Amino acid sequence: MKKVFCFVCLSMALASTGCAINAKYVVAEGLPTANLAIVAQADTQDVTALYYNAFLLPDNRCPAVRKNMLGARLIAKPREEFPAVRIPAGAPLMVGLTYQDARFAQNRECGYQARFTPMPGEAYRLDFSTTQDGRACRVAITDAAGSPVPYEPADEVCLPSLHPDAVYVNGVGHDVIYDVRIQSY
């Protein structure tokens, strides 16, 4: 009985607060670093669940062979803040974010990849937002003073998706529709 009660309490806590997966990425020893905080926000309403994922990628080409997890929010609120994480600085790098939601018999996804050059010792904020009920997404990067930081958007998004080999247009959402059939036996 005690185990069931603990499981129920844990499940309720996760459902009410969301599940956060923080960065497992660690910058190699001796490299210059910068800090990156991420804020994800969606205008989506009336969905079963929202998910955000943040990645650091080695380059701006698809398919990206290696993706480093910067954090994730499962069963997220429309607005989520990721804790600041150390990233390599002094050379261009690619960040990528995905939005996914769950709806009846379908999911919607939108991803955005942007390349910028963080300066050593600086702090940055990346704002990822979805609009049009998840059909579009974009990124804004600012420095510690709140000034815009220039970046180069990717043409395609090759981030983890419900379709593992899919490549999509950067910043354009799409639906994943399931064929739901009811059969009697």
**Residue range 4-16, pLDDT digits in tens:** 333 333 333 334 4
- Evaluate whether residue 183 is within a structural domain: no
- Evaluate whether residue 184 is within a structural domain: no
- Evaluate whether residue 15 is within a structural domain: no
Q: How many residues does the chain have?
A: 185
- Evaluate whether residue 14 is within a structural domain: no
Tally the domains of the chain: 1
Ranges 18-27, 132-141, 150-159, 160-169: which has the least confidence: 18-27
Whether the pTM exceeds 0.85: the reply is: no
In eight-state DSSP terms, residue 13 is H
CA distance 134 to 111: 10
- Evaluate whether residue 150 is within a structural domain: yes
pLDDT digits (tens, 9 = 90+) for 28-69: 888 999 999 999 999 988 888 999 999 998 766 666 656 788
pLDDT at residue 14 in the model: 39
- Is the distance from CB of 135 to CB of 110 less than 8 angstroms? yes
- Evaluate whether residue 185 is within a structural domain: no
Cis peptide before 160 (omega within 30 of 0): no
Is pLDDT at 3 greater than 60 in this prediction?
no
- When mean pLDDT is compared over 79-88, 95-104, 119-128, the highest value belongs to 119-128
- Is the distance from CB of 83 to CB of 91 less than 8 angstroms? no
Q: How many CB atoms lie within 10 A of CB 160?
A: 17
DSSP track, 52-99: EEEEEES-SSSS-S--EEEEEEES--SEEEEEEEEEE-SS-EEEEEEE
- Evaluate whether residue 158 is within a structural domain: yes
pLDDT digits (tens, 9 = 90+) for 101-120: 988 878 899 999 999 999 99
- Evaluate whether residue 166 is within a structural domain: yes
